[in-house]
Amino acid sequence: MQPGAKDMTTKKDRNKKRTPAPDRDTMRPEYDFSKGTRGVTAARYAKGTNVVVIDPDLQPFFPTAEAVNDALREPASIAKRAGAASRRRRPI
């Protein structure tokens, strides 16, 4: 559309449901799932995961999940001890 030109569609046209594009088979012939088993990883997935994206400038310091976990355990233990100490100090 050119600058300054008005959109010539009507409100009725804009509210019309669009038909979805037909599914295309994009599976490559070299992929063979004929002997695959459904749901093999479903239980592990259902347990839950927590994915955290690390900024690129921090990736050299935390190259693995183990490095991230080790780095987080120390402040977590400090926070846990601080929380326990504050609960002990409350008057009865």
- Does residue 62 contact residue 54 with C-beta atoms inside 8 Å? yes
The pTM of the whole model exceeds 0.75: no
Tell me the residue range of the domain where 91 lies.
53-92
Structural domain includes residue 85: yes
Please give the mean pLDDT across all residues of the chain. 80
Say which amino acid occupies 48.
Answer: G
> What's the rounded Cα separation, in Å, for the pair 88 and 82?
10
Structural domain includes residue 70: yes
Structural domain includes residue 84: yes
Structural domain includes residue 79: yes
> What's the rounded Cα separation, in Å, for the pair 10 and 27?
39
What total of structural domains would you count in the chain? Answer: 1
- Given pLDDT bands bounded at 50, 70 and 90, which one contains residue 91? low
Structural domain includes residue 69: yes
pLDDT tens for 28-70 read 889 888 888 888 888 887 787 777 889 999 999 999 989 999 9
13 secondary structure, DSSP code: H
What are the C-alpha distances in Å from 19 to residues 16, 22, 23, 70?
A: 9, 9, 12, 51
- Residue 27 has a pLDDT of 82
